[in-house]
């Protein structure tokens, strides 16, 4: 049972693919479509993990296949005198424009395949248009079957997928913040820091892909909820703040500086890390954001400790680059505090939209 829960998304997608293929075949029999393989194959290919992704795949398949079919029919009719004798020329005339179209616009990825299948298929006594119509009918029927199953059989709303991806970003940033903000006192392991940066970038990319699908579902009135793009921007801003803090703390500060910043850096790191971890849980569960009060207090104290160093006599003799790093860290912490406030607003918007 634990294995089923762990791979529930994969099992769910497998069920949806199977049901879509069976439905496409049944519909072909009901409508008397001779080439049922087109419908079944299309339904299997376009079925995706969410309703929005399935809709995009269906539309891309239909659009690309229609473009390829129309071009193939036009070439066959226009060059029918060359067709039996110069197959290579005709294939090039059909394939090159469709390949370029697919290369520049992924929505037409199915165009080259459709065009070449119609071109090389056995000639029909009813002319080239009849096979093209049959193929498009099969693709349309398979696309309908896939979308119908995506909508009704174990449906997955991409809002939930987006929330999970955004929650993972916040959780990873919590780990990174704990290391980088405390880097004033104890420099972190470069390998661990790089790994967390890579995981955050990957999770942000996944969240942004899910956000595109959310917008697609909203545009077709398949779902409701807040615009996901502001949440994505908030996550990127916090990641950039952490990167700035990491650059400042990557070099060890002089002992004179470190001994005065040990306590405020530790408490600030713990507060920010705990807050971001709680935010990750709130986003995934589409709950309200945690309180920012403790974080604001600790970041303000840390910033005050940094800027207050200039009033300590021995600090006046510090190298200019060290002084610059101190003020750079104070500025980064202020930016982080400002962006965390916006982050709270975005989390609460997501929570309100999920109710």
Most confident of 126-140, 213-227, 231-245: 231-245
Q: Return the percentage of the chain with pLDDT > 70, whole number.
A: 90
Question: What is the C-alpha to C-alpha distance for residues 339 and 240, in angstroms, rounded to an integer?
Answer: 10
> What pLDDT shows up at residue 92?
83
The tokens for 167 are 């929650």
Question: What is the C-alpha to C-alpha distance for residues 177 and 173, in angstroms, rounded to an integer?
Answer: 6
Contact between 336 and 246 (Cβ < 8 Å): no
CA dist 350 → 104, 204, 347 (Å):
35, 16, 5
Contact between 243 and 197 (Cβ < 8 Å): yes
Question: What is the C-alpha to C-alpha distance for residues 238 and 197, in angstroms, rounded to an integer?
Answer: 12
pLDDT in tens, 311-336: 665 566 678 788 888 888 989 999 99
pLDDT in tens, 38-86: 899 899 998 887 777 788 888 888 899 889 888 888 887 777 655 554 5
Enter the CATH code of domain 158-353: 1.20.58
Question: What is the C-alpha to C-alpha distance for residues 320 and 324, in angstroms, rounded to an integer?
Answer: 6
> What pLDDT shows up at residue 127?
66
Q: What is the mean pLDDT of the chain?
A: 85
> What pLDDT shows up at residue 172?
95
Domain spans of the chain, in order of start: 2-152, 158-353
Which of 118-122, 292-296, 304-308 has the lowest average pLDDT? 118-122
pLDDT in tens, 243-296: 999 998 888 888 878 888 888 999 999 999 999 999 999 998 889 999 999 999
> What pLDDT shows up at residue 84?
54
């Amino acid at each position: 049972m634990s294995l089923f829960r762990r791979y529930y998304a994969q099992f769910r997608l497998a069920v949806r693919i199977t049901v879509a293929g069976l439905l496409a075949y049944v519909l072909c029999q009901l409508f008397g479509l001779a080439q049922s393989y087109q419908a079944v194959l299309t339904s299997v290919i376009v079925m995706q993990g969410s309703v929005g992704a399935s809709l995009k795949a269906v539309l891309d398949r239909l659009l690309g296949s229609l473009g390829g079919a129309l071009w193939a029919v036009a070439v066959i009719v226009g060059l029918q005198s060359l067709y039996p004798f110069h197959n290579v020329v005709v294939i090039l005339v059909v394939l090159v424009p469709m390949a370029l179209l697919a290369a520049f616009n992924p929505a037409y990825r199915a165009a080259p395949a459709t065009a070449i299948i119609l071109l090389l298929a056995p000639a029909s006594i009813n002319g080239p248009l009849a096979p093209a119509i049959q193929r498009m009918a099969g693709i349309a029927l398979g696309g309908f079957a896939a979308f119908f199953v995506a909508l009704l059989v174990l449906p997955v709303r991409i809002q939930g997928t987006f929330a999970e991806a955004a929650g993972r970003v916040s959780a990873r940033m919590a780990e990174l913040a704990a290391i980088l903000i405390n880097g004033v006192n104890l420099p972190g392991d470069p390998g661990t820091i790089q790994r967390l940066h890579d995981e955050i970038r990957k999770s942000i990319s996944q969240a942004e892909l899910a956000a595109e699908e959310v917008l697609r579902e909203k545009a077709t009135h398949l779902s409701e909820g807040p615009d996901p793009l502001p949440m994505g921007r908030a996550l990127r801003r916090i990641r950039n703040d952490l990167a700035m803090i990491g650059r400042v703390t990557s070099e060890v500060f002089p002992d004179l500086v470190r001994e005065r910043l040990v306590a405020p850096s530790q408490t600030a790191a713990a507060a920010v890390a705990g807050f971001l971890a709680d935010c990750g849980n709130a986003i995934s569960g589409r709950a309200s954001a945690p309180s920012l009060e403790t974080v604001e207090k600790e970041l303000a104290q840390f910033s005050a400790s940094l800027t207050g160093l200039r009033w300590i006599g021995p600090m006046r003799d510090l190298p200019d680059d060290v002084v610059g790093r101190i003020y750079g860290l104070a500025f980064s912490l202020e930016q982080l505090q400002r962006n965390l406030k916006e982050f709270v607003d975005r989390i609460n918007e997501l929570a309100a939209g999920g109710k």
